[in-house]
Copies of this chain bind each other. A is one copy, B any other.
Amino acid sequence: MKKYVFGVDIGGTTVKLGLFDTDGNVLDKWEIPTRTENDGSQILPDIAASIQEKMKQIDNDAVIGVGVGAPGPVDAEGMVHRAVNLGWGTFSIKDTLEDLLNMPVMAGNDANVAALGEMWMGGGRGYKDLVVVTLGTGVGGGIIINGKMLTGAIGAGGEIGHIHLDDNETEVCGCGNKGCLEQYASATGITRLANRMLSSCSDASMLRDGEVSAKAVFDAVKAGDALAIKIAEQFGEYLGKGLSCVAGVVNPEAFVIGGGVSKAGEILMDYIKPHYEKNVFHGSRDAKFVLATLGNDAGIYGSAKLILDKEN
């Protein structure tokens, strides 16, 4: 008999949901709004109602369970330890949703779950030890060891955006520290590096003509803009060094680069890899660098895989 799982990815404004078969084919996907009012108390009931609605269309005995990714630290028992964007404190996502749905639930941190998705059906297919790096507004990370998510003590495993890299940083990161990887390698970080570079010299650059963004920087790099190339060099030095630290810890087979910044494509690797290779321990020097392929769907794929692994 064909079996199904639901994958759920809770974001700050919308919840993505997907219905998958056990081979990783997405049969249906849809979104509902994330209602963060009243400390987010309606979020899980809304998800349960949406899943129950969808289950009217399929054989309920064929549903294995529900996987959930949430934007905060979620430990191996499915307990979330504060998710500020959702208004959530500390409670068990797993227990709450299992009570609402009366079927097995597994939960994880959204970035960790997305990494599982990229391993299962995305850029990381074929690897079982990998690091997924998401270069978006921030820098997120998800680490897969021997095919399983590295969760950590309270679910903060893979929070590589806050690895400390620069003692001389004067601005404060969102986490409260100074000199975090995220301050240089996120979309916001690249924009910051670009603005610093533009104001510190008077060299001509395409970047002086429009809005400065990570996309503008890499578009200019592709057009051969010398100043943009200098900015990309800085970005690559920070990220290459940061990932060399990560490799020193987990010795991955591959890095999978995703998030909005990764839309720049393979050219990113030209800036990251030389600094990675210079600083990394030789046992990890041959790690592959590949692009993520699932985009915003990585979370629903990964949460589907999470419950599938648990119940198989």
Contact = CB atoms under 8 A, between A and B. Distances in A.
Interface of A: 73, 76, 81, 129, 141, 143, 145-146, 150-160, 162-164, 175-177, 179, 241, 244-246, 248-253, 278-284, 287
A162 B248 contact: yes
B281 A250 contact: no
6 contacts: A81-B283, A152-B284, A153-B252, A159-B284, A164-B241, A164-B248
Given A145-B145, A249-B143, A283 B163 contact: no
A251 B251 CA distance: 16
Given A145-B150, A250-B249, A279 B177 contact: yes
Contact of A153 (B129, B179, B280): B129
B175 A281 contact: yes
Contact of A164 (B158, B279, B282): B279
B245 A249 contact: yes
A157 B155 CA distance: 20
A70 B118 CA distance: 33
A193 to B, nearest CB: 17
Contact of A249 (B76, B155, B249): B249
Given A157-B249, A249-B157, A250-B150, A164 B73 contact: no
Contacts of A246: 249
A97 to B, nearest CB: 22
A5 B211 CA distance: 66
Nearest to A249: B249
A85 to B, nearest CB: 15
A130 to B, nearest CB: 9
A43 to B, nearest CB: 21
Contact of A244 (B145, B156, B164, B278): B164
A297 to B, nearest CB: 25
A71 to B, nearest CB: 13
A116 to B, nearest CB: 15
A239 to B, nearest CB: 13
Contacts of A278: 177
A284 B146 contact: no
Contacts of A287: 153
